[in-house]
Chain A
Amino acid sequence: MSTPRILVCDDEPHIVHVVSTKLRNGGFEVMTAADGEEALNAAMQYKPDLVITDYQMPYLSGLELCVKLRADPETQAIPVIMLTARGFSLGEDDLKDTSIQKVLPKPFSPREVLRSVQAILETKVPLENAAR
């Protein structure tokens, strides 16, 4: 099995840096994006196994990005972890049309991000196999 690919998207370079460093050290292949639009293009192009995105970003918010990913058959199966300082403002309705599997509030722990990524990818693989 090839190394899972993670797309990390945040307009804060430090966050992108710390998350990608943690994931790379954890054995994942990481690509980054600085805003929602860039992330959408990257997701369409590279079909990552998982997307980690910030909620509040310029041009396209994290939630808008997730809705767009979900709407496209090519990307709708990609699970998403949302990093947000506004976890409280995400309700059931917001998550309904997305593939957001976990919301991690800021300040977050890179350890927890890594653990969540691993957990989601572990459950995702057998599901995909079962579907096939």
Chain B
Amino acid sequence: MSDSTLKPWSQVDDDVEENGAGAITPESGLEPVRKTKTARANRSFSKVGTPWLGDLKVTPQWAFVPMGLAMIWLLWKVVFPSPGAESLPLFHGLGIAGMILISAGVLILAKISRRTAIDKMLTIIRDSSEQNSDTQAALVMEPELQPVWQGIEDQTADLKKRLSELLEAHQQLTLELTLADSQKKLAAEILNAISDPVIVTNAFGQLIQTNSKAEELFGFSSREMLRKPVKEVISHERLLRTMQQAKDADFRAAERRAEHEIGEKFYSTVIVPLKVRHDEKSEDESGHGVVAVLHDITKEHESSKKKSEFVAHVSHELRTPLSSIRAYVEMLVDGEATDEKTRGEFYDIIQSSADRLGRLIDNMLNISRIEAGTVRINKEPIAVSMAVKEAVDMMRPQAEEKKITLTEHLTPMVYRMMADRDLIYQAVLNLISNAIKYTPDGGKVNVRMTPHEENHTMLIEVSDTGVGIPKEDLPKMFEKFFRVEANKKLAKGTGLGLNLVKKIVEDIHDGQLTLTSEVGQGSTFGIALTMMAK
């Protein structure tokens, strides 16, 4: 069979594979081939005939002529036998035999002629993939081949239809393949852009998709681990168990939410069942994979832990002065204070406890107001030394209680700045209060104001000879609820005081905070505020 021109279907497909997407189209690939074949078919059909006789067509009917002659001759000789001859004379016998031989020759020639015609036609059909009116015309000239031609023609039409359908499908598939490929790349890029680790498994529990965050978290390379059982990829037992549960559960109820501690971080994990489109029908038998998305909630976790600690602290802090108030009131009611002096003492305690309660509530409210942006800020030109002096005086009784020397080095009133007097007072008060809290009995606390005229700033420093702050805790000192673990036992607190200072100084007054500390030596907290021109 001639294969240089028309290839079998399988081979056509192979070529498409080799040539790549879109290489074969009816226009580009088949059309030229078809044209050359039609030309050749026409050429061949014009010469359909018997070998050695050129275009002369020999049909079996031609054999009737010599055969008829032979019969007539034989009959004639039987009716009118030659006189005196008992058998057929040699001349007539040879004549009749010759006629029979001629008719046999004609039949052979006709057979050959027919065979040649069929061969030619088959060649043409093989060579041609396209119906052509000339070809048809040539074949129509062979009336006995007409039904064969018709059948072939129908089949060819069918095959052509299938070919164009297949080509169309191929084109569609190629397009879809390209699209799927780019979509896959896009999906991978989107996954990588997600800041949460993502793990995707199939129904067999193999890792089929992941992102760089997951690689970082679990320390694997997706290149190496793709299609590996997810158990080999991640070693976190609880997470694997939750994923397994989601995989084993009924598809519709398989979503799982859980919190996992991985390394030093906390993750809120959402595990959603994954169903790829083609196995939607066989829902229950085929099983499903899962998509696990791990959201880092370490900060929320810490903040919620801090909040519960805060609630515990606050409740204690609130109850302590409240306890005093209630207890002393009850003592007065019960007449336990028998003399005026004791009664006066009780009244003082009730008053100072109520003040302490008020301060605590103020601190909390101020922070929440500043955070919510609802604090009423009343900035006006003030002499900061006045506010500082007031804070020092306020804290003096507490310092005396612990026999701490509280000294002050204030600037003249002439230094003024735009500030909220109450808030600055609160900030300085908190710093002095902390200094006294974390300085052992008999220590020293000094409040110093230093004007820096060159850059129009005023530095207010509160230094103590207290326990100091470990180096690693220095950056966290102004965080809400943070308390130095080692110093927690020294004093009660909510971890709010310094956070309020930060908010007052940095957020409200555009000032700066400074902090230096040495464990066992003491700490110096500083507030730098911009001064007004004198």
Q: Interface residues, chain A, CB within 8 Å of chain B? A: 11-12, 14-15, 17-19, 21-22, 25, 56, 58-59, 85-86, 89, 106-111
Contacts and interface: CB of A to CB of B under 8 A. Distances in A.
B416 interface: no
A18 B324 CA distance: 8
Contact of A56 (B316, B326, B331, B349): B316
B315 A85 contact: yes
B327 to A, nearest CB: 4
Contacts of B491: 58
B336 interface: yes
Interface string B502-527: 00000000000000000000000000
A15 B330 contact: no
Contacts of A18: 324, 327-328, 331, 349
Given A21-B342, A22-B331, 16 more contacts: A12-B323, A14-B324, A15-B323, A15-B324, A18-B328, A21-B331, A22-B336, A58-B489, A58-B490, A85-B316, A106-B323, A107-B323, A109-B326, A109-B330, A110-B334, A111-B334
B327 A109 contact: yes
B330 A110 contact: yes
A112 B459 CA distance: 52
A96 to B, nearest CB: 22
B320 A15 contact: yes
B403 interface: no
A21 B338 CA distance: 11
Interface in B480-509: 489-492
Contact of A108 (B312, B323, B342, B492): B323
B268 interface: no
Of the candidates A14, A15, A58, the one having the most CB atoms from chain B within 10 angstroms of its own CB is A14
Given A107-B323, A109-B326, A25 B336 contact: yes
A59 B324 contact: no
A107 B489 contact: no
Contacts of A109: 326-327, 330
A25 B320 CA distance: 23
B192 interface: no
B349 A17 contact: yes
A76 B219 CA distance: 54
B327 A12 contact: no
B322 A107 contact: yes
A12 B492 CA distance: 10
A15 B490 contact: no
A20 B387 CA distance: 39
A106 B319 contact: yes
Of the candidates A12, A85, A111, the one having the most CB atoms from chain B within 10 angstroms of its own CB is A85
Interface string B313-354: 001100110111111101100101000001000000100010
B324 A12 contact: yes
B319 A85 contact: yes
A85 B312 CA distance: 9
Contact of B327 (A58, A86, A108): A108
23 contacts: A11-B492, A12-B324, A14-B327, A14-B349, A15-B320, A18-B324, A18-B327, A18-B331, A58-B489, A58-B491, A59-B489, A85-B315, A85-B316, A86-B316, A106-B320, A107-B319, A107-B326, A108-B326, A109-B330, A110-B331, A110-B336, A111-B330, A111-B334
Top 8 nearest A-B pairs (CB, nearest first) are A107-B323, A85-B319, A14-B324, A106-B323, A18-B327, A58-B489, A107-B326, A85-B316
Nearest to B356: A14
Contacts of B322: 106-107
Contacts of A59: 489
B353 A14 contact: yes
Contacts of A21: 331, 336, 342
A23 to B, nearest CB: 10
B151 to A, nearest CB: 96
A22 B312 CA distance: 28
A91 to B, nearest CB: 15
B330 to A, nearest CB: 6
Nearest to B317: A85
Contacts of A19: 327
Contacts of B489: 58-59
Interface in B162-196: none
B384 to A, nearest CB: 33
A103 to B, nearest CB: 14
Contacts of B315: 85-86
Nearest to B349: A14
